[in-house]
Amino acid sequence: MTRIVVVGNGMAGARLVSEVRARDEHARLTVFGAETWQPYNRVLLSNVVAGTMQPDQVRLLDPSWYADHGVTAMLGVEVTAVDRETQAVITATGRREPYDVLVLATGSRAVVPPVPGAERAVAFRTLDDCRAILRAAGAARGAVVVGGGLLGIEAARGLAGRGLPVTLLHLAGHLMERQLDAEAGLVLGQTLDTLGVRTRTGVVVEEILDDGVRLAGGETVEADLVVLACGVRPVTDLARDAGLHVERGIVVDDEMRTDDPSVFAIGECAEHRGTVYGLVAPAWEQAAVVADLVTGTDKTARYRGSRLVTRLKAKSVELAAMGETHLTEDEAEVVRFSHRAAGTYRKLVIRDGRLVGAILLGETAAVGTLTQLFDRGAPLPGDRAGLLFPGLPASAAVADSPVRMPDAAKVCQCNNVTKGQIRACWESGARDVAAVAAATRATTGCGGCRDAVEGIVGWLCEQEGVPV
């Protein structure tokens, strides 16, 4: 019986455990999680801050799942060392757990800037962090969020939705500079301003005070609550101490295997072909590959990298960014439309007749179409305006309408679920979104595909005369 030990019980580790058990009922599975919580969906923590979801609603596995599936779960137990010679992991209490296969899914930790008073702030990374933020927000008169990336914007919008005046401070010249160009960052900042979030870019925080933060130059921004969302760093200490190859992350090959053939790494701690992925979809794709390999289900399984689509999950802010968004007209064909007053910005980056990047800010019916075209690398129609404005007569052949959407179109990016799979499980009796989610896992990642899934299910019910 193969002994599989998983270190890390977050979104990657928990997914691996469930994938392995789905393929092999007899493998001996042990998972260690440093947090005492059952595994939860970290992507949805901004909804907890905003108050639109409760902590128990972001849980990935039911508490009874482990016992029901014969998995030994060691929650709140930190693994401090890997003994590769004897093939065992060692915990902080001295327990030794032998393995035949070890999977490192240690994730990332929040980056805390080295400024005086950093201990007065709350990082935004874990469920415990969320609870600390909510406790402080209850008595706060104002908040500062440091960091204008994805998490920082979601945290700021969530706190503003609770009625707190919020100032968002960002070091770079515009928000989400990794995913957005300067114009998109400006439009996003103006949109946030209308929602109660004051944004300031190009500022340096020099100290965190009891009553706010001090900026370079001496200015003080007052706040009772300071939240840090300054990025994350892969947790690689365990692998490095064990002598494994570590660069920015734990280096793995296409099998997600480290330079020790019995040790794998997946998720935010893993570096594949020079890239460390910080989104859920790649982690879940990697978990499926490792599960196939370690159970022998598919010995040819390989991970070839992921085409990333970033979605902002903030109420009243619609944003999707994908691929190479920073290319200029000298490097590619660029089609764009900006309407700052309406909070709308759309940009397509096209190379060799194919979509290699896009930014879609503000409500647009083009998101589904463009995501499909980007994911499939399909040739684009000649009418570029029709891609940005699907209502025009000559719009793209791939459509958002369930009627014209091909069965191969990917609806849920996180779980790689197509329209055809949704149709198949509907025909098998899954007649609402909850049933489809249970059968396919669609909507259980970032949640961005929920409207599309609802639309497909509703359309199928309407076609067959089934009550919705």
pLDDT tens-digit readout, 248-295: 999 999 999 999 999 999 999 999 999 999 889 999 999 999 999 999
Mean pLDDT of 106-121: 96
Amino acid 256: pLDDT = 98
Please write the tens of the pLDDT for every residue from 202-251: 999 999 999 999 999 999 999 999 999 999 999 999 999 999 999 999 99
pLDDT at 15 over 50: yes
Amino acid 375: pLDDT = 86
CA dist., res. 410 & res. 365, Å (int)? 16
Look over the chain and give the mean of its residue pLDDT values, rounded to a whole number: 91
pLDDT at 467 over 70: no
Distances (CA, A) of 9 to 12, 37, 267, 397, 447: 7, 9, 11, 42, 21
Beta bridge partners of 250: 246, 270
Amino acid 262: pLDDT = 98
Confidence bin at 399 (pLDDT 50/70/90): very low
**Residue pair 127/35 in contact by the 8 Å Cβ criterion:** yes
CA dist., res. 290 & res. 358, Å (int)? 31
Residue that is written with structure tokens 């010995």 in the block: 299
CA dist., res. 6 & res. 17, Å (int)? 8
The pair phi, psi for residue 196, each rounded to 5°, is: 95, 10
290 backbone φψ class: left, alpha, beta (φ>0; ψ -120 to 50): alpha
Alpha helices in 202-259 (DSSP H): 237-241
Amino acid 403: pLDDT = 60
Amino acid 450: pLDDT = 82
pLDDT at 410 over 90: no
Residues contacting residue 403 through CB under 8 Å, at least 6 positions apart: 459
Mean pLDDT of 332-356: 95
Please write the tens of the pLDDT for every residue from 31-62: 999 999 899 999 899 999 998 899 888 988 88
pLDDT at 132 over 90: yes
Amino acid 402: pLDDT = 67
CA dist., res. 219 & res. 399, Å (int)? 51
**Residue pair 158/314 in contact by the 8 Å Cβ criterion:** yes
Return the minimum-mean-pLDDT range out of 154-163, 211-220, 248-257, 376-385.
376-385
Amino acid 397: pLDDT = 39
Confidence bin at 83 (pLDDT 50/70/90): very high
Q: DSSP class of residue 7?
A: E
* Max CA separation in the chain (angstroms): 68
Q: Where are the beta strands (DSSP E) in 129-196?
A: 143-146, 166-170
The closest of 200, 203, 5, 179 to 86, measured between CA atoms, is 5
| Cβ-based burial of 364 (10 A; exposed 0-12, middle 13-18, buried ≥19) | buried
**Residue pair 233/223 in contact by the 8 Å Cβ criterion:** no
Q: Which has the higher per-residue pLDDT, 289 or 437?
A: 289
Q: Which has the higher per-residue pLDDT, 411 or 290?
A: 290
Rg (the chain; Cα; Å): 23
**Residue pair 222/215 in contact by the 8 Å Cβ criterion:** no
Q: Where are the beta strands (DSSP E) in 229-272?
A: 232-234, 250-252, 263-265, 270-272
Amino acid 265: pLDDT = 98
pLDDT at 409 over 80: no
**Residue 222 corresponds to which tokens in the numbers above?**
């007052």
CA atoms within 13 A on the CB side of 398: 25
Amino acid 464: pLDDT = 66
**Residue 120 corresponds to which tokens in the numbers above?**
């007065």
What does the angle CA 113 – CA 115 – CA 121 come to, to the nearest 5 degrees? Answer: 70
Q: How many residues does the chain have?
A: 468
Helix (H), strand (E), coil (C) string for 78-141? CEEEEECCCCEEEECCCCEEECCEEEECCCEEECCCCCCCHHHCEECCCHHHHHHHHHHHHHCC
pLDDT at 434 over 60: yes
Distances (CA, A) of 275 to 175, 248, 287, 316: 22, 9, 16, 31
Give the global pTM. 0.87
**Residue 142 corresponds to which tokens in the numbers above?**
């104002």
**Residue pair 101/24 in contact by the 8 Å Cβ criterion:** no
The closest of 415, 334, 407, 405 to 367, measured between CA atoms, is 405
**Residue pair 158/47 in contact by the 8 Å Cβ criterion:** yes
% of the chain exceeding 90 in pLDDT: 70
What domains sit in the chain, N to C, each tagged with a CATH number?
A: 3-108+233-295 (3.50.50.60), 118-230 (3.50.50.60), 324-396 (3.30.390), 401-468 (1.10.10.1100)
C-alpha 129: how far from chain center? 17
The closest of 230, 224, 223 to 204, measured between CA atoms, is 230
